[in-house]
Structure formats: structure tokens, C-alpha cells
Structure 1
Amino acid sequence: MWVSPILLLLAWTVSAATLLSPILNSSSDTPDLCQLREQFSLTGMHQDGDVIIGGLFEVHLLALFPELSFRTKPEQLWCHEFDMEGFKAAMTMAFAVKEINGNPNLLPYIKIGYRMYDNCVRLHAAFRAATALVSGNEKSFSMRNCSGLPPVLGIVGDPGSTHSIAISSVLGLFRVPMVSFFATCSCLSDRRRYPSFFRTIPSDAFQVRAMIQILQHFRWTWVGLIHSDDDYGRHAAQSFHEDIAAFGGCVAFSEILPKDNDIVEIRKIIQVIQTSTSRVIVVFSTGSYLLPLMDEVVRQNVTRQWIASEAWSTSTAFLIPRLLPFLRGTLGIAIRRGEIEGLEEFLLSVRPDHSPNSMVKRFWQEMFGCRFEPEEALAVAEGRICTGQEDLSKADLAYSDVSDLRPSYNVYKAVYALAHSLHNLMSCVPGQGPFQGNSCASLHDMQPWQLLHYLQSVNFTTGFGDQVTFDKNGDALAIYDILNWHGMPDGTMKARTVGVVDESQPPGKVLSLDEDKIFWNFESKKPPRSVCSESCPLGTRKVRKKGLPVCCFDCLPCADGEITNITDSLECFRCPKEFWSNLEKDRCVPKEVEFLSYEEALGISLTTASLLGACIAAVVLAIFVYHRHTPVVRANNSELSFLILLSLKLCFLCALLFIGQPRMWTCQLRHAAFGISFVLCVSSILVKTMVVIAVFKASKPEGQGALKWFGAAQQRGTVLILTALQVVICVIWLCTASPTPHKSTHYQSSKIVFECAVGSVAGFATLLGYIGLLAAISFLLAFLARNLPDTFNEAKFITFSMLIFCAVWIAFVPAYVSSPGKYADAVEIFAILASSFGLLMAIFAPKCYIILLHPERNTKKALMSRASN
């Protein structure tokens, strides 16, 4: 992926008659003398030592390239716009080397030197500086075959991700270790492509995870993304897209900052920001890309919650009064701040007479606006002559301010990482080394790849208390400060630390945030809401809106019997079998158990009717017992009448077994009692009808012998046998498939219907069928005997009663089958009561009428006269 840019760079350099690296050529006149084919003009500084380490820093922000021509040799580039922070980072490296050389416990017999160059924030300059570091920059030296030890064993830098990608791609071929202090592109963690790259700053992958921690904390799921069009921005944006999707967030829009600061493209980005419903915008960019956008933010009066990446969260270019109304409240991810004891005194001690090199002279000229004679070409101002004795402590407070060291602290750690690796290398015991034949490296033939071996396993703690070690990809332990931009009384802004993101902490404690210290740039002074759709409350589920990101959704209520007890649930969960959802659909509650109870109106009505019928039957029985010697009672066998009244009373009372909570004994007894009581009643009516017919036939000469078959004993026996058959049916039913209490949800899912399962439908049908058979026979016989003389005749009343009985039970079957739950019991009770009242009224009401209201008709003479009439 990165071969093409390098080849293009190589082609550009060669076409300009300037080589990619200072290649050594042997002179034909002096075969032992090596000469550089070309020497680059680089701004830098150096210090001699037994071992040299290199450094690449951004000391100037701009570089002027001469026009290219294929006929003449191009001029050297010229760098300008001095960067004080970049120079401070370079001086931190110089301080770290000085401190290491003065440490008796670290490399006590070796003096470290350095060679540092300015990359001018341009890839061409950075690549030239890197090749100068690994190949040397002397014009000529004596060496057979132009081969030998490289001038530097390792390089601190480059701060830019794009520069590091290109340089490390080449240096990795020769296993030259490179420890960057500011390159964060996650692509550099690829050990296969960049085997010698390390860094003391976490990669963008960790930075993105730190931002995701903040978004999760404030529940910002609908965020905008803006990134620069370079390696840093593109890879950070890719990681952000992946990680925000993992935690359930969405990118409302993703815009790329144009490289050439095209105002038309920038205004399009502002328009997208203004039209979007997102209130939070994450920006991965450097200040040079971002400044034109912020200028347009001021012009368009755009207020949003900005989330700054580490590339611009600490940039002083944005902490100005003009941007205060729009950028205060910004939350940023910043490199870990550190403290370096003695650095301030060292920075103030830097003087051009002590360090005769171009980088320090450029710094001095920038600080005091002077120039050195006769080096007027290096002067940055047409002012007075520099004496070299100016007082640095009064020149620029930002230069000597060491209270907020971030990139410089990473430089400090990078230098010490190389020093500790070198110390471990020199501490190798001969014969126990890690190299071929258990050998160790020596100071005189040390190779970069040998230092690389020890750098991979280096582990030490800085004086500030931070542990420095590298994982298998060359990445350092991830720890960030969280900054919040506050407005100051003088109209400027200041970044204050409000929290820490530390990946080394256990889950749940990675983010530590002091919300009381955070300033919010909104009227409410509270964190903004930034969601595409509000969270779905309990009892609802998320349904994604078609054609929109997953963060845009509707909230649909759960169906009956389903709940969600968490917000933003993707699905509803069905309640257990005996539970049902409450009205809010956020918890399961026990289902209502339904049965025909004595407390409800229907149960009370049926109970009253049942008791009333039983009382009426008892009263009629008492009347008949009291008037048992009267002709009306004695006619047609009074004993059967008593038996019918007794069975009707039992029929009325057995209806009560169908009311109340079903239990095993009530379920088994209700149908058995009902079936036996009705068979007793109907069989008695059947025998009474047969007696009527037998008596009538006995009154005729040809039927004198018919009555002997219908004596009292035969009547009782017939009733007993017919009833016994029903008893047998009930016993078989109860023994084979007994009715049992059953909780059913078949009729209504929200309720548990507590009913008596019949057990065997065939048993229940046989019981009803037997009753129906007896009733049908009784009806038929009574209908045939309806015209017999009134003296002996009850056939008309029996016919009418059986007609009512059969009509009720014929209507009962479909009504019972179609009625759910307790209403099936109510239908059966109604059938029992209706048929019982029908029998009672049709058979006994006329007799009671005569007995109570017309006693004069309750005589044998009156009955006989009716017969004659």
C-alpha cells in the first residue's frame, strides 16, 4: 500500500538530480576514499558520543521548494515559520541525552551523542533527514568498499504519521529502530510492514477507544465526524467507524477536510453540520487543516460540542478570543502530561555559542528578532546583530514553560527507551547472549538490529512514575488526559484536565472523569443530548427506520404477554406460562386465575337459584308428605312422587359443586352427582309413566294381568337398576380417566382459567347420552298416554316436563362446547337448574295448585267426576 508513494518520492528526487539517500561512491583516484554523491542542506544540531542516536523534529512549519527543472540542478529547500514547541521537543532530547550521560547507573562507560534534523513538516525534507541519519552526512571518509557501521543506531521521531510510514518502510528493511513520539496512525501497528517501528504515544486505535469511552459515558450515540485527508485522519476515521458501531452508536455524517483549504468545500461541511441533528462532532485533524474550518464556524455562528483528537486538543492556535464563543467547552483527548525535573533550567541555558549549529541559531533569531553575521541568509528578521548573550528567561515564557509537557515528555521517554535498551545490550554476559552462538554485541561492532532486539522487551519507569514498555506491535501503554476548554477572564481559553483514560485499569474503571469541572457551552450548562432517536423506554422495543442508520429507530410497544425491562431493547421477551405482562409491559405479573366463584355476580345468581330450587323442592316434598293420604298425592304412586322430589332437590344442590375453585373431589363429584341425580329423577318419571299406562290397561278386561308387572317392588327395582347403570358408568369414568382440576390458557392468554377437565370425553358423553335416552323414552311414553282418562293420567304433565327437559339439554350441548372457561360451568348449571325447574313446575305445580288452593277438588269423588266427564 505504501510502496507507490515511496516510488513516486524516489522518482521525484532522482528526476531533480537529488538522491533519495546520500549514496556513497568510491573515488577512482583514491580507491579507499568514500564520497557522498550529494549532500543535503539540513537544519539540525548534533553532539558527538560513543553511540549516536538520531532525531527528527518539526522545528519549522513551512518549507519552500524551488521549481523543478530537468536541465539544471535544483536549489536546496528553505524552511521558515519557526515552531517553538517543536524546538522544545528537540531540546528535550538533548536534555535527556545529557541526563543519561550524567547518570552513573545507566550506561556508565558509554557516552551517548545525538544528531537531530528539522523535517520542516514536509515528507521530502523528513525523508532526506532520515537517510542522512542512517547513511551519514560527511562529505568523504576512508573506508574500503564504502561499508561499515551506520552513523546512528536508532532514531527518535518522526512526529508525523505519514512521514513515519514512509521512513519506517525503508528503515524497517535494515532493522533500524525508530521510536516516534507523536505518530499515532493505527496502521503503524502492523509489525509485518513496520518491523522496527515503536512509539511512546498510543496509536489512534487507543485514541479512538478513549473517545468512545467519553461518548458512552454521556450516551452520545449520534455524532458527526470530520477528519483530515491524510494518513492520520483516514485511519483514525476508519477505526472510529468500527468502534462506534461496536458500542451501538452511529455516525450522523462523515466529512473530509480538503487539503487545499477550498472554501467552497469547507462551506459545504458547515452546511452539513448545520442541517444535521447531531450536537456532538468528533474531529481528527491537525491544526493546519482545521483552522480554515474554524474560521467558517465563526462566520456562520455554529455552536456544537466539539471532541478534539490529540493532534489539536492542546494546540494554542485555537485558544484565542475570536474562537472563544464557539470552542469553549470542547472536550479533547490529550497526550499524557508529564514532569521532567531540571528541564526548565536546561532550556534557559541554551545559547548559540554553546551549540554552534543552525537549529539553535534559528531559535535565537526567532526569539530575539536578530541576525548573526555574516550568516544573513539564516536571519529571520532584518534587525540588530545577535550577541548570543540575550536573556532567554525574559524572551518567551512559552518556551521555558514546562508545566504542561506532553509531546516533549514522550520524546523524553523515547530517548530513555533507547538508552535502557542499549544498557541491556551492553549488560549481556558473553556466552549467554541472544544472538547466534549465544553471542553478545560489542560497542565496536554494534548493529541497529541488535538494539532492536532489546528495544522490544524494554521495561522501565520514568521519574514521573509512568511505566514504559512496548507490546508486540511496538505500541506503548495507552493513557490519555481528558481536557476541557475553559474561557478565561482575559477572553482567551485554557485547556484544563478533567479526567483520565487509562487502558491499564480494569474494565469499568478505564474512564475517570470529574464532571463538576467540565464547562458546557450551552444555555443549560449541561451535557447536550445527541441521539437520532430517543431511547426506547421500558415496555417497548426498537424497530430500525428503513434507509437510516441503526441509531434511528421507532419504539413499538411490546405485544400482550411480552415485556422489556431494559431501555433500547431490540426485542420483547415472552412471560413465563403462568405470568402475563402488566399494563406498562415492563414486568411479568401472575396471571389472573379465573373460575366461577361465589363472590362474583354470576356465581351469586346461580347459587341463589340453586338454593331457591332446592327449597322449593323441599317445600313441595313437605306438602306432599303432609297431604300424602289425599287422592291427588296417592294417585299414580305417591312413593315415586317423593322419589322424584328428592332427586330434584339433589339436582338443585349438585349445581353448587360447579361453583367455587375446582378441587379434585369437586371435579370428580360434580358430574357423578349430576348424572346420578338426574338418572334417579328421569328413571322415576319413566316408571311413573309406565305405571300410568299399566293402570289404564288393567282397567280393561283384556289387560287384567298387566298390573302385576308394575307393583311397588317392581317399580323400586326398575328405578334402582336404571340408576345403578349410571353409577356403573360414573365409576368406570372416574377409574379410567377421572376429571381433574386444570389451569388452562387456551381460552384467553392473559388469564388462567381454572376448570375441571372432563378427563374422558367419551365418559362424559355416555353419562349425558344415558340421561338423554331415558328422557326420550319417558317423553315418548308420556306422549302416547296423553289422552288417557284424567283420573289416572299424569301423562300430559310428564309430556310437557320431558319436552322442557329435552329442549334444555339439546340446547346445552352447542352452548357448552362454545362457552369458554367459567362460562361453560355456568351453562351447565343453567341447564341443570332450567331442566330441574321445568320438571318441578310441570309435574308438581298443578297438584300443589289443587292441594293448596282448591282442596274441594282433592277428593275421590271430584277425581271420578272428572274422569266421567
Structure 2
Amino acid sequence: MEYIFTLLHVVMAIINFYSTNGTLCSLQGEPSYPKLSKDGDIIVGGIFPFHRTWENTDMSYMVKPSPLDCISVDFRTFQFSQSLIFAIEEINNSSSLLPGVLLGYKIYDTCTSTAMGVRMAMALVNGNENSTLNEPCSKPISHYSTCECLSDKSKYPSFLRTIPSDYYQSRALAEMVKEFGWTWVGAIRRDDDYGNSGMAAFTEAAEQLGICLEYSFSFFRTYSQEKVLRIIQHIKSSTSRVIVAFVTYNDLEILLNVFYEHNITGYQWVGTEGWISDSTVARLDKHKILQGAIGLAIPNTTVTGLKEFILDIYPLKTAGSAIFTEFWEALFNCKFTVQNDLVDTTVCTGQEKLSGIENAFTDLSLMPIFTNVYKAVYAVAHTLHDLLGCKQTCSTKKQPDPLTPICCFDYSIKCEQCYEDYWSNQYRNECVKKEIEFLSYEETMGILLTAVSIIGAFMTIIIAIIFFKFKNTPIVKANNSELSFLLLFSLALCFLCSLTFIGQPSEWSCVLRHTAFGITFVLCISCVLGKTIVVLMAFRATLPGSNVMKWFGPPQQRLSVLAFTLIQVLICVVWLTTSPPFPFKNLKHYKEKIILECQLGSAIGFWAVLGYIGLLALLCFVLAFLARKLPDKFNEAKFITFSMLIFCAVWITFIPAYVSSPGKFTVAVEIFAILASSFGLLFCIFLPKCYIIIHKPEMNTKKQIMGKVPVK
């Protein structure tokens, strides 16, 4: 953001420490004085825009320009300054952090002027607010602490961050735009380091992700009306409907008014943390131009007592009377000194209460940002604490300066490689056992999958009991009871074989899980294929002079099921003989934990098992599809078609999910595919028959099955 993460955080790291001695450069021009201040042993500096703008002055370049006349108090800034003061007061009252050291502060007003902000920073870094002609100041000063450019240590060797650079936010915005499928967008950026550097990083990331920028305009609130009008005309004539805005809420207020004046609506806005979560923007957007805007926000955190301190404005009175008076008058819309011509002006008593007032100052929706100010002060305090507590531990040829202490460190580091099953701890001084991961019966996912497997097997047994009880009824006989019972038996095995995938992998479980899965599923599909062929043969047997059923009677049906299954058994035997599955410790997927899994051994064997199942399923589907137009009373082929559609869909989606799933989720995906396809077969083929047997016994007659009863 323009000032929260920029002027403040840089200058707070610039500390006027024992600066009374030594020669420092001085500033030229008018003296600069802090708006809020408090004496202390060490002074922490803060720079905030207490005003949102300034009155224009005549810049003739013939005479020295007069100082800026700042106007329009910004309540947000007072909240930020309160956060800084709160942190300093809390540190001063601490017995463990900087004991015996009193922190003070000097907080300056930039008037939202970059030039003024640089001047204030120079005043703080040199420990001198007075104006004298001396050697020029040469220290590189930054006024944007989130700018990626400050990461260049060759230019800014002493710069330290208290918050990540905008490089990360820019890439995150690009990835978010890509996630929503917006590949043709426009962009508006604030014309300064915050906007230009951030948008440059966004553009680079966008190009890598295949996102094209139709336009990228810079904007600043001091732009002339003609320049702003040109930007508006370009946006109106563009075809992209997404606008990425790397601006602050101050800029957005002007943009919203201009967009409303030119009736520009219907755009999808994507925003930075500089405005997306600011409730002030929501109040400014009276015409719903930003409706549906999305962006990135700072995570919410809580600091005990900070909210109450921010709203307690009386301590500001002792810190700076002039700015406090202006702030108080703007907050309560009154005047301490009323001129005679201002008859309707309310007189300030100094005892006004915040209760009942709703404005930007009482709105604490930006508490996460206030907390960042708080944490930045603590970062400086901890640095000072370590610095002051540092003792000289090594000899030097030159007598050190007794005044900002010298620390010497002698590191004797011996690095040792941890064993494969171990991982270094967070301090990098000890090897700890890696966490072992596998799909166990004790975890939630394992328990759920086990429960579903058992439920599926139990339902299969219940259906088998129903079929056995009504085995002499026409609907059971007509659907080939022998193949039906064999199919139910194989389905029960399919449900139960999924249990072999759960638990710690071992040699026997790795071999059993894949072979049991492959053989039981082929047995299952072979039964379905046999039923499909029976349907086709039975229909042709009803034609005059046809004796086709003698070629596919019960003996041939059993033989076909046995033959199809033996082929899969042969594939599994070859697989287990040449290169069987085995338990394996996967140390590459995660560095900090070990994944116990079953290595396939021969990938060809695994895919051969799956491929043979798929081939039988496809053949069964084709035959059932050809028989789908048989008379409605004999609709077994339709049920088989539906079941095979589900079966094929599950296993087609299984392949990419299986390849891309990490660790124990690979096993979970395989179990899910087994259960889903088993339930598909069970429900599509057997539930309609169970419904007729139990709830529609009048339809369970030979005449109904043969279709000899006229349809009502």
C-alpha cells in the first residue's frame, strides 16, 4: 500500500541512535517538524500522510516555493499512528524487552506527497530536522518498502523488510486471474513505485501464464483532466471486461467518480490489498461500479488492547497539539475558535465522545493492517534489544567506536547428512524421525472407506438372500439365476477386496490387493457378459425355427465365465512371476515424511490387468447396447447398458486421478473406483428386480415377463 507498508516501515527501521555525536549531513530548505512526538532514549520514526491532499501553489520556478498547505484530514492515518504509539507504549512497559531503555517517537506528515515523504525520511535518517547548508546527503532512501526494486542489495544494501515485497502479491494476482479463466484483461496502476513495480511483476507473471494485457495505464490523482479523459476513452473502446487495479483507495475514489461520470459499468475488478478490503471503498462505491470485485487481503490477526487504544484519542493531545486540534475538529465537525461570520459552526468543547459517530476513524475493518504496523515496531525493538545486549567476543586490531557496539561471531559449523528415514528439525541441529504416511484403518478416510466396503458387501448378501428366497419366481428364473448368484458372489468379493488396500503395505498385501482386485472384477464382468449374451440368444430363440439357445446353454455359460477369468489369472501369474508388487518407501514426493506404498513392480502387468478388465467391459457394453431395443418387458439389456456406462466412466476418470494423486490419496482413489463401479453394477442390475419382487409382486408373473399382458 502507498503509505502503510512504505514510508512507515522503511523509516521505522531508520533509528536515530546516539546521534548527537558524529558528523551527519543536513537538509536544505525549510525546517521539518514532527506532527506527533515523544522523547526517549531511542527515537523510532514514522511517516504517514495525515492529510489526503494539499492546496495548489504557484510553481513559477522563479522564487522558492512556499511549503505545502495540507488539507483534508485522513482518519485512517490516525489509526495507523495509534498502532505505532500503542506498540511503543507496550514495549516501554515491558520488563523483558529493552529493559531500562525508553523508546520515543517522531511521526511526520507527508501530506500524501512523495517529495515530502522523501524529505521527512531524510530528516529522520540524518537525525536533524533543521535546515543548514552542509554537505549533501547521500544515503539511499526508500519511500516504498513493498517495492520489489528494493530487493536489489547492490543499490539498497542496508534495507531490511518488515513485510514481503509486492512481487509475491503480483504473482498471486496473476494466478488468481488465470484460475478464473480471464486471459484477456486490462490494467490500471498507480503512477509510482508501488503501482509501476507491482504491475511490472504482474505483467511478467501474466505472460508466463498465458494472460494477455489489452492495455496498462498509469494513473495518479494529480493527472490533468485531459490525461484522465484519454485513459477513459481507451477503456471504453477496449474489448476486455476485466480490470486489474494496482492502486490505493485514495486513487480509487477519483476513479470511481470518473467512471460514473462516463457511465462505465459492468467490469470485473481485481484488486490489491491497497483497496480490496477497505470498507471506505465500499462506502465510496455508491453506484455499485465495483460490485463483485475480488482481490487479495492481509490475513486477519488480533492484538489485545489495540482496538481500544486506537479509539482512545486523548493521548494524541499530549503528543502533538496542532495536529490533534485539526483532527478533533474534523472528527466531530466543530471548531475550537469560531469566527463571527461562521454563525452555524459548532464550538468544540474538547469533551466530545466517539459514541454515536460513524466514520473512517471508528471503522476498524483494517485491523490486520494496523497489526502489521504493530509488528513492524516490535521487529525494530527486538533488533535493538539484540544489538544492545551484544558483547564483543573477539579481538580487533582497531579500538571500536564506543557509540550504533561491535559483535564478532565465530561459527564452527559441522554439517552431517541425515539418514534417509530422518529429517532435520526446525533448528537444523538434530535429525528427527520422518513421519510415516499410509492409508490406515485408524484415520477418518480409512474408516469411511472400510465402512462403505462392508456396507456394499452386506447389501450384496441381502440381495442374494432375496434372490434365493424367490429363486422359483419368473423374474429370477428369466434373468438366469445361476449367473445372477455367481455375479452377486463376485460383487461381494469386489467390495471386500478393497479392504486389502487399507493398512500398512506388506509383501503379502501388495501382492493380494492387485491380484484379488483383477481376478474378482474379471469374474464379475464375465458374469455380466454372460448375462448379456443370454439376453441376445434368448431373444433370437423366440424367433420361428431358431434353436440358438442350445449353443449357449448353462454349460456354455459356465465355461465362458471360467475361460474369461482364467485369462486374467494367467496375466496375474505372469505378473507375479516376473516382477510382482512390493512394499516401497517413497522418499522423493515429500522431504519431511515417508510414504509407504505398494510399488507396482511391473507397470506393464498392472496396466495389462486393467486393460483386460476394460476390454471385457467395453465388449459387454457394446453387446448390451445392441440389445437395448428389445421389447420393454425384457429390459435386462438396458440395465446392463447403464451399469457398464457407470463402470467405464469410473475407470476412465480413475486413470488421471490415479496418476496425479500423491501418497495415500493414490490408494484412496483406487478404492473409490472399486467401490463406485461395484455399486454401479449392484444397483443397476439388481435393485430394479428387488423392487419388483418386494413391492410389485403382481408383476412377477410369467405373463408379465413374457410381455403377454396388454399394457394399460
TM-score category, normalised to shorter length: 0.3 to 0.5
- Tell me the TM-score normalized by structure 2: 0.47
- Highest RCO, 1 vs 2 (Cα 8 Å, sep ≥ 6): 2
Structure whose CA Rg is larger: 1
- Tell me the TM-score normalized by structure 1: 0.39
